[in-house]
Structure 1
Amino acid sequence: MMAGYTPMIQQYLSVKADYMDAFLFFRLGDFYEMFFEDAIKASKELEITLTSREGGSEDRIPMCGIPYHSAPQYIEQLIERGYKVAICEQTEDPKQAKGVVRREVVQLITPGTMMEGKGLHEKENNYIASITDFDDGTFGFAYSDLSTGETKVTMFSSGFDEVLNEVSLLGAKEMVIPSTFKEEWQQRMKERSIMAFSFEDDNTGKSEYHHLLEDINQDKFCETISRLFNYLYRTQKRSLDHLQKVSTYQTHHYMKIDYFSKRNLELTETIRSKGKKGSLLWLLDETQTAMGGRLLKQWVDRPLVNEQEIIDRQSLVETLITAYFEREELREKLKEVYDLERLAGRVAFGNVNARDLIQLKRSLMQIPYIKDLLTKLSSEEAMTLSDRLDTCGEIVDLLDSAVIENPPLSIKDGNIIKDGYHTELDQFRDATRNGKTWIAQLEKQEREKTGIKSLKIGYNRVFGYYIEVTKANLHLLRDGQYERKQTLTNAERFITPDLKEKEALILQAEEKSIELEYELFTTLREHVKEFIPRLQALAKSISELDVLQCFATVSEARHYVKPTFSKERKMVIKDGRHPVVEKVMNAQEYVPNDCFMDVDREMFLITGPNMSGKSTYMRQIALTAILAQIGCYVPASEADLPIFDQVFTRIGAADDLISGQSTFMVEMLEAKNAIVHATQNSLILFDEIGRGTSTYDGMALAQAMIEYIHNRIGAKTLFSTHYHELTVLEESLLKLKNIHVSAIEQNGKVVFLHKIKEGAADKSYGIHVAELAELPEELISRANEILTSFEQKESVHISSPTNKEPQKQVDSDAQLSFFDEPMTVKEKTSNFKEKHVLDKVKSLDILDMTPMQALNTLYELHKKLRAN
């Protein structure tokens, strides 16, 4: 196939064969060119002109290209859309090449390996992850942020759903998997917005990174992380000295918040806008550094379950709250600290510039001041953190002596290194400066000698230095005074032997000076690389300090209180508020509410009108628990909380169109996830379970779930509903209590008080809410008529405003009433008045069934009886 193409196109096709899933940026002079399908696709994605060229075959081949200096912006566009880009550079001097210049791919840029650019958000990690499925059904899961060097690994033994949840929570941009990985699993990850998949079958440990696995002593962990490392080393083709030692983690060491619950609680982004604004992270983020912003998100995603670790965070938050002036000064110093984590990555990658190093120096110059401020706080926690801050004084001294304060962006054009840093460089500079002084003096002398005031000495790269005289003044020159070099429209350019001699000295000195400066800079960069582990340790400490001052700042500004933790499974929240809603309301008064639960009050059944605040109340309980367990203060006047191992929510309704699941199916799957995995130490929030099906189906499922959670799990549970029939369960389920959100009617209008009170609500006010939504008056009036009819008649039919024949009436006595009284299954059968019905029920072996099985059996019988 290649025989018909030119040698250069053959070379292109040979390289492209190894990168079929990527755009190949093929370097030709000052351009990156793309050919064939890459060119067609890139021209559409990047909106650049598609052309063609002779390739040696009979037909012209498609081609498009971009200037090499503009490549970063085009690469970012492709990466943001989930593509990969292979950078193929000339690796041979064209002057020395025999035939086609040798070219090789020097880096593969993918969504998970971005090191710089607008696509790399400063307060978000850019994770790449790998999964290894083992024959025994377990899964190894590893992830790394190449821009910071963070790398972690864990194992899962409960099936792929557990892995999928971790993938979703992490927000990885790219997944590295074996080629045998199931298509079904890949599809499910695509549904969770994984941007790119890459295949790596080599999971054997290599010497290049063996030192990073020193603390890993399990073969499965090593195989899992080796798959990821092999992919990174193979595709990046350069030093990855900034990769940190691999650490293991266990998800049960943190509060588990599944993907659905994280979304429903809007922890890091809102459901509607998919943006940060309006989320808990948005509320909390008063961090001053990019590193602190990333760590804050990690803490929100993974609240602690170890009480002592929580208390350790609380202690420094408390200290910072009481030291207002020191905290404000600390915030100002933190603003001056550069992103040390990502800087270390760029140093290792070799793409750091002189401005980055000046930023590093200025950042490190803040550390002594920060250490001094922590010492002034006079607390044990502050002193411990101060001791961990490494000032890295050697780097500061080195950079201060070597690099000028305002260097250029390019590292190849000189003017980076300070005078006095290197003797030979100073000599070259002196020669250059003296030569230019000589030329300036020569220009002055020649003007005086010739009497031509407009005479000037200029320079260009083609002719070097020259003397330029306008044609109007040529008559003032003596014959043979200068050697003619170039004729212009309005002037003549000349040279002299002395000028050419001085030119050689100047240009030689300049060229050598620039070359030497580049060598000195790369040596300096390599020296800074030796400090990467110390810089990363410093970055970790600064990040923690930044997040804790952030907690203190938010807690003081919003009047939060320090929570305590109950060992008796008691939850006391006085004057609790929803932190985000409270902030959004601004000057409006937020109505606080209490929550008291203990071993005798494990479950709340919440009733009340729509729009009254049931969902807000439920969410604020969960957010209060999460805030407490990340070490922050909480929005209340008093809070004594259990430490929850998991939080589950089923709030809101939305179809999952990608996977083809209805609202009701999504609801059932989320409910199942909670019921299957919750423990006695979990928190469950269920909002309006059963709305997506018929009334009887919905009530049956809701009651069965309540009974199951109450009798089998014992988790702290808030269950809101419009099925008022369920409120009688308080009489039979000892740990269930009815509460409601109060509302009153004034002049026929409903007024929501947003206040939680004991007991069940007396009505739902649904029509009032419809009226507030400004539905047509005729419709509202008709709804009130129908409601009155329903409330007054024991036997009802669907009434109609037309003269059509009414539908068949349903005898209410013949209906199964599961909810009128909190009776046992045996007692419920006595509700059937007709003997043949009673006999059928008695013949069923249901007395030993679970509540769900019994309800399903009775409901199936109920449908058959009504059909007859």
Structure 2
Amino acid sequence: WATGGPVPSEGFWEERLPGVRRSVLPPPVSVADLPSAWSRFVVTQPSAAGVLGSLAAYVRTSEPRVLVLVNPPRMHQNAGRMGLDAKTLRHLEISEPMSPGAGRGRTLLDAMDETVTPQGRRRLTSWITAPLADPVAIEERLDVVGYCLDAPGLLPKVREALKGVGDLSRLASRILARRGGPRDLGALGRSLDGVLRLRTLLNELPPGAVPSLLGDLRNSLDPLDTLRRRLGATLSDDLPVLPGQGGMLRSEAFPRLRELRALQDGALAALTALERREAEASGIRSLKVGYNQVFGYYLEVSRSQLERVPADRWHRKQTLAQGERYTTEDLTALEATILQARESLREAEMDLYEGLLKEVDAQAPSVQATGEAVASLDALATFAQLARLRRWVRPKVLDHGRIRILEGRHPVLETTLGPAYVPNDLELDRAGGRLLLLTGPNMAGKSTYMRQAGLLVVLSQAGSFVPARYAEVGVVSSLCTRMGFTDDQGRGKSSFMVE
């Protein structure tokens, strides 16, 4: 969240952060030097110039390559979203528990997280912490959830296909920032294969019955066939962690690599032949050729065999407690050949690897867009999975001032209490009955009932089915709470017991 003004003055950082060195926080970037998408945003929102200039300066200093991939800024609009402030999110325990240090399983997110991809979990979090307030958009999500439940066998197939897709947005960012490695490229290639399987599955659906939102998400899935095939054809099956470790690329895909690896293999074969030849000539059957980065290649002889060493041809290289290490003119020459071949191979492979990275760079926006579609599909499939497993029903979301819940259940507590949880009804109407006054003894469930009401509205407007026998929700523009208690519902303790 940010509010801004004109491009900050020379003393911007010192005024706001006294004592911070300028080498840590650089001077802001001028509007003219911002990325084009950012500059266009500043034209329509001039008050954002200051904060964007400062943000761009920080990103360019810490991660110069990342700035081009950062999504263009957008103005946050409350229109179309339910208003939920930080206090309400905390009181309803939507993504964070009220009690500090509470374990998992206490929040709505914990109870709902059936996602199968990292981006799906982030999208689920986003949707339940910022539900929709547009009935049309809500119905579009509900249509997809209902379709996934009604289409025979579709939901498990979609979830299985989603499991084959990695965190596309994070992979693209790591590769662009050059913070990833060969295994990130491999993960990207496998993820694009998963995207292809997912799109193929969705393309097989009857065209007339597919909800519009599901069709849009399907059309946004781009397996990037050229890049996908390129990665599959060039990357090795067993990828190293770091680029410089070698063995990243297939020889058959690059003639130059094939030639250099053949040269290296020939030199290593000659090394094996030299070891065998010297062992036979000296009579030292235990003779071994070794290598380390300090002394290079050497012949190692144990102390019991030192009298067999041909002093006229072998030259001492290192003395050990258990023996000696030697070299010969042939071994020195062969070492130079091997090291040269190894370095040439490393340089060639790094050049080709950098070329692959640049191909990914060019497709990074498409990879991110596909990742966004995958995230939404995973969140919607999670809504459907929850409805199937927990007998949730589709709410009627209308643009009126009425909320009617029959046999509603708290979505978190029902997962821990099971059949012991007692369903509750709720009815509020703007035309009459706008206020409910709850009274009862300690641990009667007053705060649970209030939270349940709020959570069912949140679920409905997030586009999810809800735990109830029947639910009718008039769109709520804002949900506000003022709770002075500090109960611990997850442990069954009322505020009286906690205090």
Instruction: Normalising by structure 2, report the TM-score.
Output: 0.87
**Cross-structure match for 2:37:** 211
Q: Residue 422 of structure 1: which of 229, 254, 263 is its match? A: 254
Distance (whole Å) between structure 1 residues aligned to residue 384 and residue 70 of structure 2: 32
Structure 1: which amino acid aligns with 2:53?
S
Read off the aligned partner of 1:214 and give its amino acid letter: R
Do residues 520 (structure 1) and 352 (structure 2) align?
yes
- Corresponding residue for residue 225 of structure 2: 393
Residue 536 (str. 1) matches residue 368 (str. 2): yes
Identical residues among aligned pairs (%) = 30
Counterpart amino acid of 1:334?
Answer: L
Identify the residue that residue 211 of structure 2 maps to in structure 1.
380
Q: What residue is the counterpart of 1:620 in the other structure? A: 452
Alignment of 1:215-614 (within 5 A): 215=41, 217-273=44-100, 277-323=105-151, 325-378=153-206, 379-381=210-212, 382-476=214-308, 480-614=312-446
Q: Does the aligned pair in 1 maintain the 2:65–2:177 contact within 8 Å?
A: yes
User: Which is further off, 230-239 or 285-294?
Assistant: 230-239
Distance 1:574 1:200, change over 3 A: farther
1:131 is matched with 3
Confirm or deny: 8 A CA contact 2:5 2:49 kept in the other structure: no
CA displacement, residues 110-157 of structure 1 (integer Å, 9 cap, x when unaligned):
xxxxxxxxxxxxxxxxxxx543268xxxxxxxxxxxxxxxxxxxxxxx
User: What residue ranges of structure 1 are gaps of 5+ in the alignment?
Assistant: 1-128, 135-176, 184-197, 655-765, 774-868
Give the AA of the match of 1:252. Answer: A
Q: What is the DSSP-based 3-state SS (H/G/I as helix, E as strand, rest coil) of the residue aligned with 2:465?
A: coil
Deviations 1:361-387 (A, max 9, x none): 111101121112223443133333212
- Counterpart residue identity of residue 164, structure 2: E
Mark the CA change 1:597 to 1:512 in structure 2 (over 3 Å): closer, same or farther. same
What CA distance in whole angstroms lies between the structure 2 residues aligned with 1:401 and 1:623?
A: 49
Matched residues in 1 for 2:469 and 2:311: separation? 99
Structure 1 residues 469 and 647, CA, compared in 2 at 3 Å: closer, same or farther?
A: closer
Structure 2: how far apart are the matches of 1:220 and 1:319? 44
SS at match of 1:607: coil
Residues 1:652 and 1:377: Cα distance change in structure 2 (over 3 Å):
farther
* SS in structure 2 at match of 1:424: helix
- State the shift of 1:294 in Å: 0.9
In terms of Rg, which structure is larger?
1
Q: State TM-score, norm by structure 1.
A: 0.52
Question: Is contact 1:375-1:383 (8 Å) kept?
Answer: no
Q: Which amino acid aligns with 1:582?
A: E
Report 1:27-106 matches (<5 A).
Answer: none
Change (3 A) 1:610 1:324: farther
Query: For residues 479 and 544 of structure 1, do their structure 2 counterparts lie closer, same or farther at Cα, with a shift above 3 Å needed?
Result: closer
- Could you report, residue by residue, the CA deviation over 1:802-832 in whole angstroms, capped at 9, with x for unpaired residues? xxxxxxxxxxxxxxxxxxxxxxxxxxxxxxx
Whole-angstrom CA distance in 2 between matches of 1:652 and 1:537? 43
Distance 1:591 1:130, change over 3 A: closer
CA contact (8 A) 1:459 1:465 kept: yes
Distance in structure 1 (CA, Å) of the matches to 2:229 and 2:366:
16
After TM superposition, the structure 1 = structure 2 runs for residues 658-697 of structure 1, keeping only pairs within 5 Å, are none
* Structure with greater proportional helix content: 2
Change (3 A) 1:390 1:452: same
* Distance change in 2, residues 1:235/1:471 (3 Å): closer
Q: Deviations over 1:415-449 (max 9, x none)?
A: 21211233333222212111111111222223333
Q: What SS does the corresponding residue of 2:31 show, helix, strand or coil?
A: coil
Note the C-alpha offset of 1:180. 4.8
Q: Which amino acid aligns with 2:3?
A: I
Superposed CA RMSD in Å reads: 2.7
Aligned to 1:641, the other structure's residue is in SS state strand
Please list the CA deviations of residues 162-218 of structure 1 after superposition, one character each: whole Å capped at 9, or x if unmatched. Answer: xxxxxxxxxxxxxxx8655599xxxxxxxxxxxxxx977737314341233435523
> Which residue matches 2:473?
641
The alpha-carbon distance between structure 1 residues 437 and 616, as it changes in their structure 2 partners (threshold 3 A), is same
Deviation at 1:476, TM superposition (A): 4.1
Gaps of 5+ in 2: 7-11, 19-23, 487-493
Q: Is the 8 A contact 1:213 1:246 kept in 2?
A: no
Query: Counterpart of 2:243 in 1: which secondary structure?
Result: coil
In structure 2, the CA distance between the partners of 1:248 and 1:515, relative to structure 1 (3 Å rule), is same
Is 1:179–1:199's contact at 8 Å kept on the other side of the alignment? Answer: no
Query: 1:477: Cα distance to partner?
Result: 5.1
Match of 1:825 in 2: none
CA separation in 2, counterparts of 1:232 and 1:223?
14
Distance 1:443 1:414 in 2: 25
- Give the secondary-structure state (helix, strand or coil) at the position aligned to 2:442: coil
C-alpha contact 2:409 2:421 (8 A) present in aligned 1: no
1:478 positional shift = 5.4
Contact 2:315 2:326 in 1 (8 A): yes
Higher RCO, 1 vs 2 (CA within 8 Å, ≥6 residues apart) = 2
Contact 2:175 2:184 in 1 (8 A): no
Structure 2 counterpart SS, 1:465: strand
- Counterpart CA distance in 1 for 2:85 and 2:194 is 40
Q: Which residue identity is paired with 2:478?
A: Q
Q: Provide the C-alpha distance between the structure 2 equivalents of 1:377 and 1:471, rounded to a whole number of angstroms.
A: 76
Cα distance change of structure 1 residues 213 and 541 upon mapping to structure 2, 3 Å threshold = farther
| SS of equivalent residue, structure 1 residue 131 | coil
Offset at 1:397?
1.5
Deviates more, 1:367-376 or 1:386-395: 367-376
Distance apart, 1:318 and its partner CA: 0.6
Report the secondary structure of 2:438's partner residue: strand
Contact 2:400–2:475 (CA<8 Å) still a contact in 1? Answer: no
Q: Tell me the distance in 2 between the aligned counterparts of 1:347 and 1:394.
A: 18
- 1:729-740 alignment, distance < 5 Å: none
Secondary structure of 1:320's partner?
A: helix
Structure 2 counterpart of 1:500, one-letter code: T
Partner of 2:166, secondary structure, is coil
Q: Which has the higher strand share?
A: 1
Contact 1:130 1:227 in 2 (8 A): no
Alignment check: 8 A CA contact 1:385 1:541 kept: yes
Distance 1:644 1:180, change over 3 A: farther
Which amino acid is 1:392 matched to? L
Whether contact under 8 Å (2:147, 2:211) holds in the other structure is no
Helix, strand or coil at the partner of 1:579:
coil
Give CA-to-partner distance per residue, 1:333-380, whole Å, 9 cap, x none. 212211111111112211110001101111110112111222344313
